[in-house]
């Protein structure tokens, strides 16, 4: 039988302890052991991007990381993306732009979109398209996803302009920041 | 598919890792960023007896200036390279090439050392290091070796690394103002492995000196086009005869075939990417 | 369109409004319910040992090592599973002469494609099941594989099924007029081309997934699956597991993409059901990506040789072609694998006036994975063949590609029209759609720019397609041939005590927004706010009997059934209201959840109040009033075998003639799918479809070697279109509602996939034309384009 390792980590703000076999990957752990089935398994080789989630503020493929490697980590999955301002805005924008059909790619798309927005991405559609080009969507043809991301960036830019014009006002609350920033 | 079972060790120090690696009891497979190894395991193409996870070895994660070189620890991730000011100032070829390597989420985990140790013939990094005349520091429990990139990459997934050694760091000469670098690849989709690609370093242009023209994704490993370099060194960039001669020498390279391109197609594309990369040899230091 | 404003055209109508999908919020918050999300007590996991050979005798199987793995529950070889199953045979009586041998879940004596399941392992986890699969030892005797469709039918080629006298599954000829004679004559220009279409596959992001429960006490089976046709699957499971149909329940909750892939009978899924029955515990099978590529149906492997003849005015005088297609070792059940070829025979040239027509189709068996219906069945081939011949011949006679279409497209006022192939068309708008396309894309400007670009060494091309799409099929598609596939759909709508509507309908949701448009129709027709409408689909225990969602029928057929049910329920509710309010029903209407006077719009009664009277205080009703607050209606298309839509599309591409790379710069679509229920959702169907079509034209191909080995069965190697390379897609609509229904909606799900390949092919060849070369093979990969450009060197 496989060797098991005890791990302790934070998942969506909750402390979790578990004993896991070494070969169990992170997304299977989240789905099968914690019941967080929002992250999806599409290819198990890092190509489709459906399992993309945040580990210590960095977006990674959940199928290309072992659960044991998440010991001590802070994991945010799609179930908690809405708790950050960016995540909530992007989820809303996805709904408004119908940036999803079957919804299977959506957790990973959101992860990449959040990453794009929070790393200061512009409304340039070519840039957005490149940034999400590691996430596969078979339904939408991508345009509505680009629209949804661009619209959040646009909203923020206009907010930033307003903020400049209104001394004292500060843009609040961006969690999900990259580690080390 | 799910990975087959394996034992797992996650040492905190390089020394512990090297001791484990030198043990005869169990066959260890070092795990760096895992962005190539994990897919291989998930396809059950790689079935390591023991996985030696290097991700907690802090001493392998550094980027530092050391005289005329930049030293990069093996466990530095691609995303960190892209964000590094030292890299931006001193290794402009990386700045050109790294955005073409896979996708953001992969670059957030993938490491330079992992890519070096894997020696995927389609990967960019071995070609970049050869074009930069970089050296690779490898360590074992009992010794340290410095191997030039030219001598390190031997074939498909084959390197000069011994089974008891790990890549410790990469030393890249800093670019100075006369240096020029070019990079061009033809990938069907952004972030894919290329059908053909090339990385070029030159100590100067007009005329070209110390050219290093290194192709990837055309042969069994990153391959220097030495004859093409010879045909161009000492020549001006508008010397079409020299360029024509250099392009002709490319037919002598060993091309591999795959489902997407015959060796003749690879040869044709090698000529195209070399011309395009030469035509945009960029300024070294901003 | 003229005439009075239709009810649905009024400003506040839910029909024609881009209502946001109510279920989208759930999906963006990670609250979907996909099959793999299901965890059941005592559930075990299946994995399969599949044939590594395309064609091999199975000499012996040793499962002893696999059985000894801790955590393994059972290891089943062929007979263990097959003996529990009545074999299925995938032929249809209306495809005359078609043949295909009986099939069973697991290969027993001979494996006939690489990837065919042979041994099933059931274990405590998928990982353990896979561990055990590696320990199963099978001795094979390799047989000569038959892969090439061109030689499969030839005498002397090994027989894939020795009991048949050849590898031919089906042949059909279509003859209209006299093409040979029409092609003679001094003023006739003829042009011939041979087209090759590569195999591709659906690559649904959620792979095929099944969880089966079996309850021994009452002999019932619950089949949770990721699929499009629950009632069809119920019939298949009932028949072949020999369970009473009413004892089989099929449930499809959220489906992570389908595109026709998930509408067939797969041996591994049937084996999963059998295993649950044998083990009396839930069994889960989630195909991994390698299994998906090697066992999800493929489509489109066709070689078509076509010939067109036009007179000096550019009028098409004849079109002939023959199509050879390979379908794998069997026909897929229950739709059969001859339909794609049949569609090509029926639809090639369909938008045009063509009197002299000859088509021949040959469907052969081969040792590759099975082929069957995938999004836009046959359309990409039919449209590419005809519209490529038309554009090529237009250049031959120095005519613009738009002009030649205008001369040949059936006039918008000519309908109804029966084509040379016997297809009945009505209410199409080819000319109006083409005009609208030309204006939207600024065609003349693009042509001018093209000239100056060419002078600068930039090779850009413009390519068009005019197409029809089969939608809203009648029983003439499958049912007529004996398949357990319903062409009618049903909807039940009930008004609950609180005044909310509950709709249950037999069409299914796979992300298109089916449930949303059903809610729109119910809300509009009945008269409530859409947030008071709840929709249930995808469960044979809870929805009326019907066909499901495929062949672009969800809106047109399922939608009409909801419309009819909503109308009926409204009449029933108004009868009750009239009785309570002591007035006549025809003086009342329902608006925004309230019963109102038609005359003055005055509010008379809230539906919640009506519901409470009916359900709680029925003592207040006169005894002769027997309220029915539920209505069910079914709908099928009766006037026509299919309700066709039409569209016109154009692509603008740039070919890098040094590398063979193609960049799609722009793409335009004018679609006439009749009444548009939700413009946003329709546009998104078209966009997604176009990108799948671009995939087929430029990227996607299941590559096999000569031994029948699939070479690129990973998502890194099989190239699906990704965001960076895809263009924004511009869409306009022409709305010609079909008079076959009250709703007037036709389908829109497949047009993009059906038309885009032709437009891209034409655009690439338009770009290459000044270099005197062309390509007629899809996907148009860089290497293939380079070979066309440099035939002597590469």
Residue C141 CB neighbours (<10 A) = 10
Which residue from B4, B259, B264 is facing C711, i.e. has the nearest CB? B259
Confirm if C371 and C325 have CB atoms less than 8 A apart. yes
C663 touches chain A (CB under 8 A): no
Domain span at residue A138? 82-165
B191 touches chain A (CB under 8 A): yes
**Does residue A12 share a domain with residue A64?**
yes
Confirm if C761 and C778 have CB atoms less than 8 A apart. yes
Give A126→chain B minimum CA distance, Å. 11
**Contact check, Cβ <8 Å, B261/C719:** no
- Flag whether A74 is in a domain: yes
* Distance of alpha carbon B76 from alpha carbon B60, whole angstroms: 7
Q: Give the domain CATH number at A57.
A: 3.10.20.30
**Does residue A160 share a domain with residue A86?**
yes
Check residue C2 and give its pLDDT. 42
**Contact check, Cβ <8 Å, C256/A102:** yes
Q: Mean pLDDT, chain C, as a whole number?
A: 96
Give the pLDDT band (50/70/90) at residue B280: confident
**Does residue B71 share a domain with residue B95?**
yes
Confirm if C310 and C170 have CB atoms less than 8 A apart. no
B53 neighbourhood in chain A, CB within 8 Å: 66, 68-69
Give B53→chain A minimum CA distance, Å. 8
Give the pLDDT band (50/70/90) at residue A165: low
Check residue C130 and give its pLDDT. 98
**Does residue B74 share a domain with residue B167?**
yes
C227 neighbourhood in chain A, CB within 8 Å: none
Check residue B284 and give its pLDDT. 46
Give C752→chain A minimum CA distance, Å. 10
C783 neighbourhood in chain B, CB within 8 Å: 260-262, 265
Give the domain-ending residue among B152, B173, B194: B173
Residues of chain C with pLDDT under 50: 1-3
Which residue from C32, C204, C714 is facing A138, i.e. has the nearest CB? C204
Which residue from C37, C258, C724 is facing A133, i.e. has the nearest CB? C724
Nearest of C532, C539, C610 to residue C566 by alpha carbon: C532
Which residues in chain C are classed under CATH 3.30.365.10? 7-32+488-635, 298-475+639-789
**Does residue A10 share a domain with residue A76?**
yes
Which residue from C31, C127, C511 is facing A139, i.e. has the nearest CB? C511
Chain-centroid distance of CA C7 in Å reads 31
C730 touches chain A (CB under 8 A): no
- Flag whether B1 is in a domain: no
Give the pLDDT confidence of C495-547 residue by residue, as tens digits: 999 999 999 999 999 999 999 999 999 999 999 999 999 999 999 999 999 99
* Distance of alpha carbon C105 from alpha carbon C102, whole angstroms: 11
Check residue C420 and give its pLDDT. 87
**Contact check, Cβ <8 Å, A35/C39:** yes
* Distance of alpha carbon C703 from alpha carbon C716, whole angstroms: 13
Share of chain B above pLDDT 90, in %: 96
Report CA torsion sign: C19, C22, C23, C26: positive
Residue C777 Cα distances to C640, C702, C712, C793, angstroms: 34, 14, 19, 19
**Does residue A75 share a domain with residue A15?**
yes
Model confidence at B42: pLDDT above 50: yes
Give the pLDDT confidence of C243-260 residue by residue, as tens digits: 999 999 999 999 999 999
Q: What is the SS3 assignment for C61? A: strand
* Distance of alpha carbon C497 from alpha carbon C609, whole angstroms: 8
Check residue C643 and give its pLDDT. 95
A77 touches chain B (CB under 8 A): no
B8 touches chain A (CB under 8 A): yes
Model confidence at A95: pLDDT above 70: yes
Give the domain-ending residue among A80, A114, A138: A80
C37 neighbourhood in chain A, CB within 8 Å: 31, 37
* Distance of alpha carbon A47 from alpha carbon A29, whole angstroms: 19
Q: Which chain A residue is nearest to residue B101, measuring alpha carbons?
A: A134
B12 touches chain A (CB under 8 A): no
Model confidence at A169: pLDDT above 70: no
B2 neighbourhood in chain A, CB within 8 Å: 23, 25, 28, 44
Give the pLDDT band (50/70/90) at residue B43: very high
Per-residue burial over C11-42, b = 16 or more CB atoms within 10 Å of its CB, e = otherwise? eeebbbbbbbbbbbeebbbbbbebbbbbeeee
Give the pLDDT confidence of A118-157 residue by residue, as tens digits: 999 999 999 999 999 999 999 999 999 999 999 999 999 8
B:103-142 residues touching chain A, CB 8 A cutoff: 103-106, 108-109
**Does residue A131 share a domain with residue A71?**
no
* Distance of alpha carbon C42 from alpha carbon C38, whole angstroms: 12
CATH for C7-32+488-635 is 3.30.365.10
What ipTM goes with this model? 0.97
Q: What is the rounded end-to-end Cα distance, in angstroms, of chain C?
A: 55
A3 neighbourhood in chain B, CB within 8 Å: 7-8
Q: What is the SS3 assignment for C653? A: strand
Most A CBs within 10 Å: which of B83, B84, B104, B111, as the mutation test of the A interface? Answer: B104
How many domains, in total, are found in chain B?
A: 3
Give C636→chain A minimum CA distance, Å. 27
Give C721→chain B minimum CA distance, Å. 8
Give C201→chain B minimum CA distance, Å. 18
Share of chain C above pLDDT 90, in %: 96
**Does residue A100 share a domain with residue A145?**
yes
**Contact check, Cβ <8 Å, C725/B262:** no
**Subunits in contact with chain B (3 or more CB pairs closer than 8 Å):** A, C
* Distance of alpha carbon C151 from alpha carbon B13, whole angstroms: 63
Which residue from B2, B4, B262 is facing C783, i.e. has the nearest CB? B262
C:138-177 residues touching chain A, CB 8 A cutoff: none
**Contact check, Cβ <8 Å, A133/B191:** yes
Give B158→chain C minimum CA distance, Å. 22
Residues in Cβ contact with B67 at an 8 Å cutoff, skipping those fewer than 6 apart: none
Q: Which CATH architecture has domain C298-475+639-789?
A: 2-Layer Sandwich (3.30)
Give the pLDDT confidence of B68-108 residue by residue, as tens digits: 999 999 999 999 999 999 999 999 999 999 999 999 999 99
Which residues in chain C are classed under CATH 3.90.1170.50? 36-143+205-258+261-292
Calculate the CA dihedral of residues C299, C301, C307, C308 and round it to 10 degrees: 30
B47 touches chain A (CB under 8 A): no
Q: Which chain A residue is nearest to residue B5, measuring alpha carbons?
A: A23
A:109-128 residues touching chain C, CB 8 A cutoff: 110, 125-126, 128
**Contact check, Cβ <8 Å, B109/A61:** yes
A79 neighbourhood in chain C, CB within 8 Å: 29-31
Check residue C10 and give its pLDDT. 76
- Flag whether B213 is in a domain: yes
Model confidence at A170: pLDDT above 50: no
Check residue A172 and give its pLDDT. 40
Check residue C421 and give its pLDDT. 87
- Flag whether A19 is in a domain: yes
**Contact check, Cβ <8 Å, A133/B108:** no
**Does residue A38 share a domain with residue A15?**
yes
Nearest of C465, C459, C314, C305 to residue C380 by alpha carbon: C465
Give C712→chain B minimum CA distance, Å. 8
Per the structure block, which two tokens stand in for C215? 């309850």
Average pLDDT over residues A83-87: 97
Give the pLDDT band (50/70/90) at residue A159: confident
CATH homologous superfamily of domain C36-143+205-258+261-292? Aldehyde oxidase/xanthine dehydrogenase, a/b hammerhead (3.90.1170.50)
Residue A123 Cα distances to A98, A106, C97, C416, C667, angstroms: 18, 20, 58, 48, 21
A79 touches chain C (CB under 8 A): yes
Domain span at residue B218? 181-283
Q: Which chain A residue is nearest to residue B8, measuring alpha carbons?
A: A22
A:141-170 residues touching chain C, CB 8 A cutoff: 141-146
Nearest of C208, C390, C239, C276 to residue C42 by alpha carbon: C276
**Does residue B169 share a domain with residue B69?**
yes
Check residue C30 and give its pLDDT. 98
How many domains, in total, are found in chain A?
A: 2
**Contact check, Cβ <8 Å, C659/B272:** yes
- Flag whether A180 is in a domain: no
C292 neighbourhood in chain B, CB within 8 Å: none
**Subunits in contact with chain A (3 or more CB pairs closer than 8 Å):** B, C
- Flag whether B2 is in a domain: no
**Does residue B119 share a domain with residue B36?**
no
Per the structure block, which two tokens stand in for B23? 């043990």
């Amino acid at each position: 039988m496989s060797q098991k390792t005890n791990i302790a980590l934070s998942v969506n703000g909750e402390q979790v302890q578990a004993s896991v076999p070494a070969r169990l990957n992170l997304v299977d752990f989240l789905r099968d052991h914690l019941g967080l089935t929002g992250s999806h398994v599409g290819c198990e080789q890092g190509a489709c991007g459906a399992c993309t989630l945040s580990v210590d503020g960095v977006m990674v493929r959940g199928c290309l990381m072992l659960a044991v490697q998440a010991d001590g980590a802070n994991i945010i999955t799609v179930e908690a993306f809405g708790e950050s301002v960016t995540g909530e805005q992007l989820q809303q924008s996805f709904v408004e732009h119908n940036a999803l059909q079957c919804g299977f790619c959506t957790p990973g798309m959101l992860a990449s979109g959040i990453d794009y927005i929070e790393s200061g991405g512009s409304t340039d559609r070519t840039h957005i398209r490149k940034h999400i080009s590691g996430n596969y969507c078979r339904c939408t043809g991508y345009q509505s996803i680009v629209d949804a991301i661009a619209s959040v960036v646009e909203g923020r830019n206009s907010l930033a302009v307003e903020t400049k014009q209104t001394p004292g006002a500060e843009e609040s609350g961006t969690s999900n920041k990259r580690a080390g920033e | 598919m799910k990975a087959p079972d394996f034992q797992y060790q996650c040492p905190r120090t390089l020394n512990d890792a090297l001791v484990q690696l030198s043990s005869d009891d169990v066959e260890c497979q070092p795990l760096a960023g895992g962005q190539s190894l994990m897919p291989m395991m998930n396809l059950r193409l790689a079935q390591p007896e023991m996985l030696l996870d290097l991700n907690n070895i802090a001493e392998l994660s550094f980027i530092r200036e050391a005289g005329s070189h930049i030293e990069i620890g093996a466990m530095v991730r691609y995303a960190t390279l892209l964000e590094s000011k030292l890299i931006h100032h001193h290794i402009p070829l990386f700045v050109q090439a790294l955005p073409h390597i896979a996708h953001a989420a992969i670059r957030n985990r993938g490491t330079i050392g992992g890519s070096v140790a894997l020696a995927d013939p389609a990967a960019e990094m071995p070609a970049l290091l050869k074009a930069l005349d970089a050296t690779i520091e490898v360590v074992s429990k009992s010794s340290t070796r410095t191997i030039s990139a030219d001598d390190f990459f031997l074939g498909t997934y084959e390197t000069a690394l011994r089974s008891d050694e790990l890549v410790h760091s990469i030393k890249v000469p800093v670019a100075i103002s006369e240096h020029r670098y070019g990079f061009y690849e033809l990938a069907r989709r952004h972030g894919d492995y290329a059908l053909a690609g090339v990385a070029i370093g030159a100590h100067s242009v007009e005329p070209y000196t110390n050219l290093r023209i290194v192709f990837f994704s055309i042969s069994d490993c990153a391959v220097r086009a030495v004859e093409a370099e010879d045909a161009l060194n000492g020549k001006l960039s508008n010397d079409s005869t020299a360029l024509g001669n250099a392009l002709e020498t490319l037919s002598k390279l060993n091309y591999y075939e795959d489902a997407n391109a015959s060796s003749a197609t690879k040869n044709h594309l090698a000529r195209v990417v070399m011309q395009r990369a030469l035509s945009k040899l960029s300024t070294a230091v901003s | 369109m003229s005439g009075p404003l239709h009810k649905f055209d009024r400003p506040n109508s839910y029909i024609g409004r881009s209502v946001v999908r109510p279920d989208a919020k759930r999906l963006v918050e990670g609250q979907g319910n996909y099959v793999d999300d299901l965890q059941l007590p005592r559930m075990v996991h299946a994995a399969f040992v599949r044939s590594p050979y395309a064609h091999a005798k199975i000499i012996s199987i040793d499962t002893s090592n696999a059985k000894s793995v801790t955590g393994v529950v059972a290891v089943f070889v062929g007979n263990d599973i097959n003996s529990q199953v009545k074999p299925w045979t995938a032929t249809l009586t209306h495809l005359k002469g078609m043949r295909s041998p009986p099939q069973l879940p697991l290969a027993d004596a001979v494996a006939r494609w690489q990837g065919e399941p042979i041994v099933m392992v059931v274990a405590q986890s998928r990982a353990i099941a896979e561990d055990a699969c590696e320990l199963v030892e099978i001795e094979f005797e390799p047989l000569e594989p038959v892969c090439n469709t061109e030689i499969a039918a030839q005498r002397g080629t090994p027989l894939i099924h020795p009991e048949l006298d050849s590898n031919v599954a089906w042949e059909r000829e279509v003859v209209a007029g006299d093409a040979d004679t029409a092609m003679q004559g001094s003023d006739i220009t003829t042009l011939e081309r041979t087209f090759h279409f590569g195999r591709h596959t659906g690559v649904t992001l959620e792979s095929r997934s099944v969880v089966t429960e079996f309850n021994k006490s009452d002999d019932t089976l619950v089949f949770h699956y990721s699929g499009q046709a629950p009632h069809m699957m119920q019939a298949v499971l009932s028949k072949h597991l020999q369970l009473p149909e009413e004892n089989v329940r099929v449930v499809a909750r959220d489906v992570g993409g389908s595109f026709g892939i998930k509408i067939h009978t797969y041996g591994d899924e049937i084996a999963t059901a059998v295993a649950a029955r044998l083990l009396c515990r839930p069994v889960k099978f989630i195909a991994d990506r390698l299994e998906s590529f090697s066992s999800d149906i493929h489509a489109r492997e066709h070689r078509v040789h076509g010939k067109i003849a036009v007179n000096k005015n550019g009028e098409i005088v004849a079109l002939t072609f023959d199509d050879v297609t390979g379908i794998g070792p069997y026909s897929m059940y229950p739709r059969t694998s001859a339909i794609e070829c049949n569609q090509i025979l029926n639809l090639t040239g369909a938008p045009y006036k063509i009197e002299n027509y000859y088509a021949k189709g040959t469907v052969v068996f081969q040792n590759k994975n099975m082929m069957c219906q995938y999004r836009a069945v046959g359309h990409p081939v039919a449209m590419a063949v005809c519209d490529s011949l038309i554009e090529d011949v237009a250049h031959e006679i120095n005519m613009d590609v738009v002009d030649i279409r205008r001369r040949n497209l059936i006039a918008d006022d000519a309908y109804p029209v029966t084509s040379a192939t016997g297809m009945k068309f009505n209410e199409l708008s080819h000319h109006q759609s083409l005009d609208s396309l030309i204006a939207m894309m600024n065609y003349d400007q693009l042509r001018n720019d093209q000239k100056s670009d060419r002078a600068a060494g930039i090779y850009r091309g413009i390519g068009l397609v005019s197409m029809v799409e089969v939608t809203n099929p009648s029983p003439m598609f499958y049912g007529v041939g004996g398949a357990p596939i319903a062409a009618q759909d049903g909807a039940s709508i009930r008004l609950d005590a609180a005044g909310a509507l509950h709709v249950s309908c037999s069409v299914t949701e796979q992300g298109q927004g089916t449930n949303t448009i059903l809610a729109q129709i119910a809300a509009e027709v009945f008269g409530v706010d859409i947030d008071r409408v709840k929709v249930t689909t995808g469960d044979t225990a809870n929805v009326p009997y019907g066909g499901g969602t495929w062949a672009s029928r969800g809106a047109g057929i399922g939608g009409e059934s909801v419309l009819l049910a909503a109308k009926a329920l409204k009449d029933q509710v108004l009868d009750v209201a009239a009785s309570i309010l002591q007035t006549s029903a025809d003086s009342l209407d329902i608006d925004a959840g309230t019963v109102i006077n038609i005359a003055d719009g005055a509010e008379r009664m809230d539906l919640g109040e009506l519901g409470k009277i009916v359900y709680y205080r029925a003592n207040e009703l006169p005894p002769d009033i027997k309220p029915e607050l539920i209505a069910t209606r079914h709908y099928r298309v009766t006037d026509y075998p299919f309700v066709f839509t039409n569209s016109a599309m154009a692509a603008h591409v740039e070919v890098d003639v040094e590398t063979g790379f193609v960049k799609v710069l722009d793409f335009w679509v004018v679609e006439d799918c009749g009444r548009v229920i939700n413009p946003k959702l329709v546009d998104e169907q078209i966009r997604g479809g176009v990108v799948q079509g671009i995939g087929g034209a430029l990227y996607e191909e299941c590559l096999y070697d000569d031994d029948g080995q699939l070479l690129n069965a990973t998502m890194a190697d099989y190239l699906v279109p990704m965001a960076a390379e895809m263009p924004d897609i511009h869409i306009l609509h022409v709305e010609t509602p079909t008079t076959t229904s009250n709703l007037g909606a036709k389908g829109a799900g497949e047009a993009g996939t059906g038309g885009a390949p032709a437009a891209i092919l034409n655009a690439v060849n338009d770009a290459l034309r000044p270099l005197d070369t062309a390509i007629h093979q899809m996907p148009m990969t860089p290497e293939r384009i380079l070979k066309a450009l440099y035939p002597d060197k590469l």
